[in-house]
Copies of this chain bind each other. A is one copy, B any other.
Amino acid sequence: MRIELEPIGHVTSTRAEIRDDDWDSEVASITLDPAVFTADALRGLEEFSHVEIVYFFDRVPPEGVEYGARRPRGNPDWPLTGIFAQRGKNRPNRLGLTIARVVAVDGLTLEVAGLDAIDGTPVLDIKPYMREFGPRGDMRQPMWATELMSGYWASGD
């Protein structure tokens, strides 16, 4: 079974190459495809503080996809971890997913803060973040994940 998707728009970002960390220093926006959408599609989105963005890691070649386990970022200090137990981009279907802050909505363009996608990335969906869709119950994650994320948004330099 094949599922065919069409980008709804693309990312414009001040980051043009793949790097792992310090994403908060970038400014990004998403512009919807004007051949398909009007401003109606984003109507009311400014009433939400956050959105979930689903995007496609189009710069990852199919032969780079991991189907089994590997150490996150190849770091020998971190455990051998299944590709579905990490968020690395070399994953089956190459989907990226991030909760970003809504900065502004203007016509077909959504400006966001904290989107870890490089310039030109195809966007597949935008969903408003609702409190009730957050994790329910106690949260737990392994130490390596907390270590990996420590410089992700801000490098601390």
Q: Name A's B-contacting residues (CB within 8 A).
A: 1-8, 36-38, 40-45, 47-52, 54, 56, 67-69, 79-87, 91-93, 95, 97-99, 101, 110, 114, 122, 124-142, 145-146, 149, 152-153
Bound form: Cα–Cα A95–B22 in Å:
28
Contact A4:B1 (CB < 8 A) given known A43-B82, A49-B137, A97-B97: no
Q: Measured between C-beta atoms, what is the minimum distance from A134 to chain B in Å?
A: 7
Residue of B nearest to A98 (CB): B133
Bound form: Cα–Cα A45–B87 in Å:
11
- Selected from B8, B110, B130, B136, the residue in CB contact (under 8 A) with A92 is B8
Contact A124:B93 (CB < 8 A) given known A42-B85, A49-B141: yes
Contact A125:B91 (CB < 8 A) given known A5-B5, A136-B114: yes
Residues of B within 8 A of A6 (CB): 1-3, 92-93
Are B42 and A84 in touch, CB under 8 angstroms?
A: yes
